[in-house]
């Protein structure tokens, strides 16, 4: 195995035929990766497979390239959070996946990949160019019927205009000719001006305000990629600077923008929680849930992650406000989503403890009152039964302390089956 890896390092990866020949000679090794666990070996195999993908793409063997890309993504899951090369390898694999889909004329699917790539690197001109090219081809497909109709109309007016339209022939022929030029120019203008800018021009007829949104959105999006929004102070500063923009949910006009809004608002929500500004954070969460409702219908791959994060933030904030019952309703949902998450379990158990402590405190006050009474007036009130009364008070005290101390161990975590049953009954 090591000898094959060593050989791969000596192959000239710039020569397509050499890569293909080497891969075919050792295909049984490169395709049998299920039991390989060494990070460095997996990295080497990914590198070889990526070079093989490039070679296949050059040879236009797209179906085989798709199969190899599936292998790469499986291997990438093995080194996620374990290798410094993961992000670069993932980005490269995603690029070739988008490229191959475009080569197969599956432009919409290809653009899903290039959207992801633009999120990773918004300033990459290659990704932006592919994205705009795909958009242009999608747009061109949709225009193809219009092109055919207008072309037929042009030929018809040219041949039979005088007979059919009489003195109106010039005006109608001119109108059809303008339509012809416009129809055939759309794809070029769409690609030349750029997807976002073209959308501005197109939507301008419906709502002039979109121009301002798009321009402002482009500036902010470029800016927020350069901010470390995990830093509470930075998140607060960034959100305050652009608060008017982010508070207007109508500015979230497509899937990518909605995703951006959610990320920024969730970072700001976390910052508010750290500063104990819980009411503000809960108001912000209402906006996040509205955005999530919009995103749910747009088939975003990030929806589940965003939703889980919003639920956690809500449960956390309710817990901070000592609304333990409401908080635990949220953490029940989170435990159903991810039963292995210890953070959710700890919050659920802690909330249960606080709820129990609230109930126990009533009994504590009662026992303390009894204790004080027995100390001050016990002999006068209870007389010969004084010892028994004090023993009962003492036992009650011990029982309360033991319950408080060990209550957590007897709490049962909610089970997914319970949720399923409730869902069925509902």
What confidence score (pLDDT) does residue 190 get? 53
In this prediction, residue 170 has a pLDDT band, given cuts at 50, 70 and 90, of: confident
Place of tokens 């710039």: 14
Percentage of residues in the chain having pLDDT higher than 90: 15
What span, in angstroms and rounded, lies between the C-alpha atoms of 334 and 138? 40
User: What ranges in 121-249 are assigned the alpha helix state H?
Assistant: 125-165, 169-193, 195-204, 209-224, 232-241, 243-247
Q: What is the mean pLDDT of the segment spanning 298-311?
A: 86
What span, in angstroms and rounded, lies between the C-alpha atoms of 398 and 358? 18
Q: What is the mean pLDDT of the segment spanning 390-409?
A: 79
Averaged pLDDT of the chain: 79
Find the farthest-apart pair of alpha carbons in the chain and give their distance in angstroms, rounded.
127
Ranges 1-10, 87-96, 160-169: which has the least confidence: 1-10
What confidence score (pLDDT) does residue 155 get? 67
Specify which of 216-220, 240-244, 353-357 reaches the highest per-range mean pLDDT: 353-357
Query: Under 8 Å CB-to-CB from 134, ≥6 apart: which residues?
Result: 102, 107, 108, 110, 111, 114
Token pair of 162, please? 């005088």
With contact defined as beta carbons under 8 Å apart, do 264 and 229 qualify?
Answer: yes
What span, in angstroms and rounded, lies between the C-alpha atoms of 210 and 205? 10
Token pair of 131, please? 């994205």
186-195 pLDDT per residue, tens = 656 655 554 4
Place of tokens 């606080």: 354
């Amino acid at each position: 195995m090591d000898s094959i890896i060593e050989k791969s390092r000596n192959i000239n990866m710039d020569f397509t035929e050499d890569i293909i020949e080497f891969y075919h000679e050792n295909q049984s090794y490169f395709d049998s990766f299920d039991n390989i666990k060494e990070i460095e070996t997996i990295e080497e195999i990914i590198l070889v497979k990526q070079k093989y993908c490039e070679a296949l793409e050059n040879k236009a063997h797209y179906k085989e390239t798709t199969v190899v890309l599936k292998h790469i993504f499986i291997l990438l899951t093995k080194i996620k959070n374990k290798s410094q090369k993961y992000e670069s390898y993932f980005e490269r694999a995603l690029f070739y996946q988008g490229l191959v889909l475009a080569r197969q004329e599956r432009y919409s699917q290809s653009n899903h990949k290039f959207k992801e790539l633009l999120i990773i690197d918004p300033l990459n001109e290659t990704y932006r160019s592919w994205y705009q090219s795909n958009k242009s081809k999608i747009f061109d497909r949709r225009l193809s019927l219009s092109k055919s109709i207008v072309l037929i109309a042009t030929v018809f007016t040219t041949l039979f205009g005088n007979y059919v339209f009489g003195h109106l022939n010039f005006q109608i022929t001119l109108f059809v000719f303008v339509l012809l030029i416009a129809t055939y120019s759309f794809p070029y203008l769409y690609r030349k001006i750029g997807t976002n800018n073209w959308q501005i021009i197109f939507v301008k007829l419906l709502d002039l305000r979109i121009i301002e949104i798009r321009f402002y959105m482009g500036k902010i999006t470029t800016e927020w990629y350069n901010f470390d929004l995990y830093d509470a102070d930075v998140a607060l500063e960034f959100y305050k600077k652009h608060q008017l923009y982010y508070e207007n949910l109508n500015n979230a006009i497509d899937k990518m923008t909605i995703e951006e809004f959610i990320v920024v608002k969730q970072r700001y929500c976390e910052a508010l929680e750290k500063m104990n500004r819980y009411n503000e954070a809960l108001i912000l969460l209402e906006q996040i849930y509205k955005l999530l409702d919009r995103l749910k219908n747009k088939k975003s791959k990030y929806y589940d992650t965003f939703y889980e994060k919003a639920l956690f933030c809500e449960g956390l904030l309710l817990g901070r406000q000592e609304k333990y019952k409401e908080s635990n309703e949220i953490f029940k949902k989170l435990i159903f989503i991810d039963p292995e998450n210890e953070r959710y379990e700890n919050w659920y158990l802690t909330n249960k403890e606080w709820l129990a402590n609230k109930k126990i405190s009533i009994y504590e006050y009662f026992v303390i009152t009894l204790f004080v009474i027995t100390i001050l007036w016990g002999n006068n009130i209870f007389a010969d039964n004084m010892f028994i009364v004090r023993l009962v008070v003492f036992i009650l005290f011990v029982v309360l302390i033991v319950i408080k101390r060990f209550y957590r161990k007897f709490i049962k975590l909610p089970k997914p089956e319970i949720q399923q049953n409730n869902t069925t009954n509902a």
